[in-house]
Each structure stands twice: as C-alpha cells, then as structure tokens.
Amino acid sequence: MNILEIKNLNLSFNGKRILSDLNLKFEEGKISAVVGPNGAGKSTLAYVIMGLNGYRDYTGEILYKGVSLKDYGVAERAKLGITLGWQEPARFEGLKIKQFMMACAKIKSEEKIIEALNIVGIDYYEYIDRAIDKSLSGGERKKFELASIVAMQPELVILDEPDSGIDVASLRNIFGAIKYLHKNGSTLILITHSLEVLKIAEYAYLMCNGILLDEGKVDKIRKYFEGKCLPCPHKNIPVFSEIEKA
C-alpha cells in the first residue's frame, strides 16, 4: 500500500518552473530516498509535501492514504501524522529542552524522552536544563530534532539532509534513529545527496533541475554517485530555487 502518492506535480516561482510533472509513490513502512545535486528541487518537494507557506500553489495531486492534501495546511498535515525534519533545525530562544521534548512526545513521560535522546546519543541529564538556542551547535540541534521525531512516533517522516552538520562519530546515532523509526512503523523519505544516507533506503528517486530522471532500487540509483551525472535536459547549470540557495 502506498502511504503517499504524488501525481503530475508542478510548481513555479516567479514564472520559473521549479518542479515539473513529478510522479512518485512511497510505500507504507519503507525507507525511500530522493537524491540529486544541490538545486535539484529535493527540498522544495519536501516543503510542498509538508504544505509550507509559499509552497501550496502547485498543480497536480498529493495524496496521503488516498486523500488529497490540497486544502490541508501544515498543522493539519502534522495532525495526520506527517513530520518534516529540517536541514537546518530551528532555534527556540528560552525554550528548555525538556519542555521541547515533552511537547513533541506522543507518550509524555520522562522515561520515553530519555529513551529518545539515548537513541541519538544525547545524555538527558547533561542537556535537559539547557535551551534550544544559539548555545547549541547545529549538529546538536539536529540530534535534538531527530530525538523529538523519535518521541513523536509519526506515521510519515521526511528528513531533509539528515546527516548535514553531523560529525562522523555521530552518524551512527543518526542512522540508528532512522532505523529505529522504521522498525517502529514509520515510513521515511530521506532527502539527500549523500551515498551513505542513500544506502539506508530500500527504493530511491533521482531528481535534477526539478524533474524525475530515474527511479529504482538503491543499487541502480547509486550509479549516479559513481558517474556523477546522468543525461538531463538542462544545459550546464540547473535552474536553482531562490529559496533552496538561501
């Protein structure tokens, strides 16, 4: 069963086509990847699925469990069980980590919060009274965000560059959290240009310049990383989304 289907999806900014006639299907309970170079439209696709402001004026259909998301905002999509992990996680000045984790957790207990933090390699007692602000590194905020998703137990998780800002020693924890979510019933979509992240997936889509170039098992799509490029309609430099460049 497909938990998410994207049919003939198109999106334009300032008269420039950013996503073109995309058709993708994500099977329930599987880990899928959307790969491609910077500016390919991967993050834009994630934002459209999540229904962020500025990304809802698309044509085509996004179906979640067979229901169109066209009239659903971000909060409504979150209530349906869809969650987005950002490439650059937000800061929350003044919000303590314990408050943040408790607000996100499906089961609001200290035991579950400790478990979620342990999965991403964070010591609860070392960090619990700190705030999610500029005092934390980007990698630390990335791990806290992923821990909050583990505690949330969403049905569909979209992770935008889950290894971004993560040191090599912490990658094992990040991959472990992804596998934990998968084992506990979440469907995952990994937005990435990393071969190591791609290897975790079971099926992958290759994008460039806003179009779908190829799809298939990971062993097929990983050839993109070996050859660095596949035939693509654009000449020289892809059209970049202004928002993705920021």
DSSP letter string over 145-176? HHHHHHHH--SEEEEESTTTT--HHHHHHHHH
Task: Report residue 157's pLDDT band, with 50, 70 and 90 as the boundaries.
Answer: very high
Task: Check residue 170 and give its pLDDT.
Answer: 84
Task: Check residue 193 and give its pLDDT.
Answer: 85
Task: Check residue 243 and give its pLDDT.
Answer: 36
Q: What is the DSSP string of 67-81?
A: EE-TT--HHHHHHHT
End-to-end CA distance of the chain, in Å?
A: 36
pLDDT in tens, 13-69: 888 899 999 999 999 999 999 998 888 899 999 999 999 999 999 999 999 999 999
Task: Check residue 169 and give its pLDDT.
Answer: 78
Task: Report residue 140's pLDDT band, with 50, 70 and 90 as the boundaries.
Answer: confident
